[in-house]
Amino acid sequence: MDDDRKELVRRLSTLATEFMEDAHEAAIEGQSAELQAQDYARCARRLQSAARELTAVAETMIIVVTPEGDGPANASMTLCF
């Protein structure tokens, strides 16, 4: 894999980490017994959004690292950028 692709995968990994941290914060907030229904729903929407974003980044990483000629066989192709 060339250096440009490696750099792209490194940057995508950083982005994935940010989405995971957002999801972690939402999950921690959702553990509170002090929340109202709309607060739990907000936490759930944040988790759902982070999961979609993380999926898109992971699928992009798979496409980037897949050798040419193999195609995106390992990606589910549900990119949503």
Let me know the angle formed at the C-alpha of 64 by 60 and 67, rounded to the nearest 5 degrees: 135
pTM, rounded to two decimals: 0.77
Confidence label for 71 from pLDDT (cuts 50, 70 and 90): low
The amino acid at 21: E
Q: Please answer whether residues 75 and 59 qualify as being in contact, where contact means their C-beta atoms are separated by less than 8 angstroms.
A: yes
Distance of CA 54 to the CA centre of its chain: 1
Q: Average pLDDT, stretch 2-19?
A: 95
Tens-place pLDDT, residues 18-70: 999 999 999 999 999 999 999 999 999 999 999 999 999 999 999 999 877 55
Domain ranges of the chain: 3-65
What the block records as the tokens of 39 is: 């607060």
Residue whose tokens read 């957002």: 22
